């Protein structure tokens, strides 16, 4: 397997070293991985010295998804089959290695798994609610629910190139919009019942701007509804999703005092 992983960063995250540890874990497992860090020009030298196994690219414009697209474009003439991106405060877990192994055995275009929440200091804060049935993903997006997140999710190169990367106009949810476009285009998804990555809840995240995020989630929902699922079908899928994630909801309540994944992403732990 040949994998491209892109990390956008301002070069100031104290957690980037943990992100790097996850990438090194994948490399030690014998997986061919290219790790591209996209950062401001003034941080190139320092990050290059700190992370010699990464390829450094100077960002051309501001914005998370602009940086990710730039990383993909940088690797455009290189040999890779699968793509993932991981932010500079998140990290990969051992299940991601299992996902990479599955990628060599499946005809699926998207592979996703379970994602855990951790606090700023690394304490467990519960788990992200996950869609157990990939066929339910589009109806859930149509309901304004995120059925899986980008952390630890793999997507085939042909899908990335077909879709033209991420929509940079959606500053908060271009990843969700990307998955919706992929599914609408016929991409096949498969789920792994393993923890593939973690999402770090910390002050200052983009996900905390609830007004902007809500408006963009509504736009993604409108797009997903073009998939044709009826209102009754969407409600059936939503009820099933809620029931299947009761344990995760109770876990979040125990560890963080919050019930929903969205409320946890909008609060500090």
Q: Distance between CA atoms of 231 and 139, rounded to whole angstroms? A: 9
Identify the residue whose tokens are 């996950």.
130
Average pLDDT over residues 52-69: 95
Q: What is the pLDDT of residues 250-269, one digit of tens each?
A: 887 776 666 566 665 655 55
Q: Distance between CA atoms of 201 and 122, rounded to whole angstroms? A: 9
Domain 2-265 homologous superfamily, CATH: Spore Coat Polysaccharide Biosynthesis Protein SpsA; Chain A (3.90.550.10)
Mean pLDDT over each residue of the chain, to the nearest integer: 91
13 touches 23 (CB < 8 A): no
Using pLDDT thresholds of 50, 70 and 90, give the confidence band for residue 122. Answer: confident
Q: What is the pLDDT of residue 212?
A: 83
Using pLDDT thresholds of 50, 70 and 90, give the confidence band for residue 205. Answer: low
Strand partners, 6: 36, 85
The three state secondary structure string of 41-81 is HHHHHHHHHHCCCEEEEECCCCCHHHHHHHHHHHCCCCCCC
Reported pTM: 0.92
């Amino acid at each position: 397997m040949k994998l491209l992983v892109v990390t956008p960063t301002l070069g100031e995250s104290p957690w980037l070293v943990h992100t790097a540890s996850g990438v090194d874990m994948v490399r030690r497992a014998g997986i061919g991985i290219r790790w591209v860090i996209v950062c401001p020009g003034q941080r190139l030298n320092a990050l290059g010295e700190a992370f010699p196994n990464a390829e450094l690219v100077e960002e051309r414009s501001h914005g998370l998804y602009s940086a990710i697209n730039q990383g993909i474009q940088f690797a455009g003439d290189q040999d890779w089959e699968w793509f993932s991106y991981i932010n500079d405060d998140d990290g990969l877990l051992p299940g991601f290695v299992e996902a990479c192994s599955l990628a060599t055995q499946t005809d699926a275009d998207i592979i996703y798994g379970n994602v855990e929440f951790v606090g700023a200091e690394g304490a467990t804060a519960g788990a992200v609610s996950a869609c157990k049935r990939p066929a339910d993903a589009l109806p859930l997006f149509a309901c304004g629910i995120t059925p899986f997140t980008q952390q630890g999710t793999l997507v085939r190169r042909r899908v990335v190139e077909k879709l033209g990367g991420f929509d940079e106009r959606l500053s908060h949810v271009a990843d969700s919009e990307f998955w919706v476009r992929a599914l609408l285009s016929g991409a096949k998804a498969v789920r792994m019942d393993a923890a593939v990555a973690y999402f770090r809840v910390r002050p200052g995240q983009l996900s905390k701007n609830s007004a902007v995020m809500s408006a963009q989630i509504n736009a993604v929902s409108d797009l997903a509804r073009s998939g044709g699922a009826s209102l009754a079908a969407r409600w059936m899928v939503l009820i099933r999703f809620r029931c299947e994630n009761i344990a995760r909801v109770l876990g979040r309540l125990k560890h963080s005092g919050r019930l929903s994944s969205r409320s946890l992403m909008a609060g500090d732990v």
